[in-house]
Structure 1
Amino acid sequence: MAGRVPGIVDAHVNFFDPRRPPWGLPRIGRVPTPILRALPDPLVRLATRIADEQSLSGVAGPGLLSARYQMREYVRDTAGLASVAGVPVAAVLPVDAQWRRRVSINEAPEAIAEDMRTLRELSYGAPSPALGGLIVPGDERVAGLGVRTVLDDEESLIRGVRLRWGRHPDPLVRDWSTEPDALDSPIFRKAFARLAERGLIFESLCYSHELAQLAELAAEFPETTIVVEHMGLPVGVFGPIGSSTGATAAARADILSLWRERMAMLAARPNVLVKISGIASQLLGYGDEKAGNIGGQRILADMIGPLVLHVVDRFGPERVIFGSNAPLDSHNATIGVTVGALLDVLGPRGDYLLAHLFAENAQRVYRIPPAATEG
């Protein structure tokens, strides 16, 4: 991509630190923050594992959720990316780091504000990537999605609101929301109607069987830009996950068929874009759950190719956005392997698609200033 774009825009990075709220566990495990920060790393990891509210099966590889991941670690993980893609990462968009725990309604406004303050303070800019904007965590239980206090900042870097509303019938696949049919609640609809007025996008984390609800929402609010994370998460499409999802070839074929149908429904809505992210997520059912090894770039490209090509063929080159999902997929694939696999799959489609996927669409949708991606 050298000469086509100055650098990659990574539109989905997870930064967190188990020693520091709101990322860590003080309110869950009732461990005072100063004590937590003073603990040696092995005890911090043990404490965070004990304090997790839900099973994290399929979310990340062993140990990833209890280890610090901030800009230093991200720069380390992307150090060799220029040799793979021809350009480095120029800008990142951190997503909210509240996936570890679900705060109470009373906690939500302050927790969200603290999350945003902490993400703003990371070391952006040369030699690290620039900050392209922030995606705020939403909460369907709170009027205004719980983000009013930070959205009122006139100089805000906030580009959108992210709602993790997915619920899965498999009891061992994580439910991201306690509310069934969260998109249909009057509180959510009232708050959602204001997003377009503020020039904000809506980022959706749900599972593939729920995408029809998202298509209905897109039709009802055609002026609001919606970004579907992780290609709509067809859980178990490549192999068993949870208690029984994707356990047979017939089950996997059904998952793929339904996902293809629902993505086609979404593609008919011009206000919907798709993040080609999470392509090495364990939720898709890669390999053995304990080993987590899917075999490198060639195998990743072979497996993910049909899904990525279906998305690109349906949505076109101007409605797809790249996200690494770092570091949650690193147990299965490094960022370099992820980007390399996508280049293997999509390289034959030409520079126009690659430039839009890896940079130009994110620059447009998230309103990233040109200076942020030109170094």
Structure 2
Amino acid sequence: MSGINRRAALGTLGLGFAASALPFPARAAETSGEDPALEPELEIVDPHFHLRDFSDPEAPGERYLAQDFTDDIARSGHRITGSVFIECGIMYDTPGKDAERSLGETRYVGEIAEAHSATGLAAGIVAKVDLTRPEGLETLLARHEEAAKGHLRGVRNSIATAPFPPLSGIRNDPKLLQDAALREGVTLLGRKGLVFESWLFHPQMDELVALAKACPDTTIVLEHLGCPLGLGPYAGKLDTTFAEWRPAMARLAQCPNVVAKIGGLGPFMGQMATPETTSVSLARDWKPWIETAIELFGPQRCMFESNWPANRPASTYGQIWNAFKLVTRGLSQSERAALFSSTARSIYRI
């Protein structure tokens, strides 16, 4: 994120903007009870979660620690055998050079991964590294690899921006993926066996298409199905969003080096949990998006994600996995294994 203090902007959702700018509270899902886990024996690798340990006790936003995530997993009843931490710009070194401060977050999570190696917590780490700084980039990546204690699996640089409330406070550079220096950095990631990820909104998906074509030897991960929007001018118009989103997904699926994370659905679509929210209602709402992604990419290039705790306004942790299980009951055992665990294990070398 550029142009603002990320720690102040992340807020309680951990998605890169102040929670006060959003039309829902951070703990909305607590109005719904946890549904019993369906098929609790099914192995799951969760490839997208965040931690929030603010060093400043006065910092805005809710803390979410490794023990909180462990407790949520246990409460859900689902069999989570591994997980991947995705950078969120919080546990940075202070002071330090701007390009190096994110080492603090990588080091923080690397120590957690080492301590929890038996459970696979944070078995993979996707760090924040400024890929537009070619001078010294390889050395900086090596320092992140050391800080991650062998768990570094990729880098995220995001472009999510929108010109309308409540998203207009997000100030990522929308042209970042076009930067020649960044593309050199993404190419370097591929040579080092690391993936590239970017958080973006569905009107920006063609930026990722262009990047994937320019860097064909690097695995690129589309987060949250391109974050289809149901806020601002898209509020109450998910049919319009779907009509824009599906062709963009089809273009992206033509790039063989792109893998899709299925999840993060709900908050940006304008969906908020109520006492009536259940796994069944979520499966019904998410089914068209999930089935379209699987149809276009195939199970071997898709992986389910929780985006936890950022998705807490829309559901409980367990309801997310129940919904995914409900939608995919008609698929084969091998297809479901890919979606729930083996694709993530392959992409993140877990």
Q: Structure 1-normalised TM-score?
A: 0.74
Written as runs of structure 1 = structure 2, the 5 A alignment for 1:192-341 is: 192-236=186-230, 241=231, 244-249=232-237, 252-280=238-266, 282-287=267-272, 295-341=277-323
Please state how far the C-alpha of 1:255 moved relative to its aligned partner: 1.4
Written as runs of structure 1 = structure 2, the 5 A alignment for 1:100-249 is: 106-109=97-100, 111-122=101-112, 123-126=115-118, 128-139=119-130, 141-143=132-134, 148-152=139-143, 153=145, 156-173=150-167, 176-236=170-230, 241=231, 244-249=232-237
Say which SS state the counterpart of residue 361 (structure 1) adopts. Answer: helix
Contact 2:187–2:217 (Cα < 8 Å) also in 1:
no
Written as runs of structure 1 = structure 2, the 5 A alignment for 1:56-95 is: 66-82=61-77, 85=78, 88-95=79-86
Say which SS state the counterpart of residue 330 (structure 2) adopts. Answer: helix
Please state how far the C-alpha of 1:146 moved relative to its aligned partner: 6.2
Say which SS state the counterpart of residue 198 (structure 2) adopts. Answer: strand
Cα distance in structure 2, aligned partners of 1:190 and 1:355: 34
Contact 1:139–1:145 (Cα < 8 Å) also in 2:
no
Q: CA RMSD in A?
A: 2.8
Report the AA paired with residue 263 of structure 1. M
Structure 2 gaps of 5+ residues are 1-37
Residues 259, 104 of structure 1: alpha-carbon distance in 2 compared, 3 angstrom cutoff: farther
Cα distance in structure 2, aligned partners of 1:97 and 1:145: 23
Contact 2:91–2:102 (Cα < 8 Å) also in 1:
no
Please state how far the C-alpha of 1:356 moved relative to its aligned partner: 0.6
Please state how far the C-alpha of 1:176 moved relative to its aligned partner: 4.7
Cα distance in structure 2, aligned partners of 1:216 and 1:279: 24
Note if 1:16 corresponds to 2:52.
Answer: yes
Cα distance in structure 1, aligned partners of 2:229 and 2:91: 20
Q: Structure 2-normalised TM-score?
A: 0.79
Please state how far the C-alpha of 1:216 moved relative to its aligned partner: 1.4
Contact 1:292–1:331 (Cα < 8 Å) also in 2:
no
Residues 112, 294 of structure 1: alpha-carbon distance in 2 compared, 3 angstrom cutoff: farther
Residues 200, 129 of structure 1: alpha-carbon distance in 2 compared, 3 angstrom cutoff: closer
Report the AA paired with residue 210 of structure 1. Q
Cα distance in structure 1, aligned partners of 2:116 and 2:162: 36
Please state how far the C-alpha of 1:218 moved relative to its aligned partner: 1.0
Say which SS state the counterpart of residue 348 (structure 1) adopts. Answer: coil
Contact 2:44–2:80 (Cα < 8 Å) also in 1:
yes
Report the AA paired with residue 253 of structure 1. D
Please state how far the C-alpha of 1:300 moved relative to its aligned partner: 0.7
Say which SS state the counterpart of residue 349 (structure 1) adopts. Answer: coil
Report the AA paired with residue 137 of structure 1. K
Say which SS state the counterpart of residue 121 (structure 1) adopts. Answer: helix
Report the AA paired with residue 63 of structure 2. R
Please state how far the C-alpha of 1:124 moved relative to its aligned partner: 1.2
Please state how far the C-alpha of 1:331 moved relative to its aligned partner: 2.4
Report the AA paired with residue 245 of structure 1. P
Say which SS state the counterpart of residue 347 (structure 1) adopts. Answer: coil
Report the AA paired with residue 269 of structure 1. C
Report the AA paired with residue 240 of structure 2. D
Name the % identity: 26
Alignment-derived partner of residue 367 in structure 1? 349
Please state how far the C-alpha of 1:223 moved relative to its aligned partner: 1.1
Please state how far the C-alpha of 1:105 moved relative to its aligned partner: 9.9
Cα distance in structure 2, aligned partners of 1:79 and 1:298: 21
Please state how far the C-alpha of 1:286 moved relative to its aligned partner: 0.6
Residues 270, 99 of structure 1: alpha-carbon distance in 2 compared, 3 angstrom cutoff: farther
**Aligned residue pair count:** 308
Please state how far the C-alpha of 1:196 moved relative to its aligned partner: 1.1
Note if 1:351 corresponds to 2:333.
Answer: yes
Contact 2:235–2:270 (Cα < 8 Å) also in 1:
no
Cα distance in structure 1, aligned partners of 2:321 and 2:235: 28
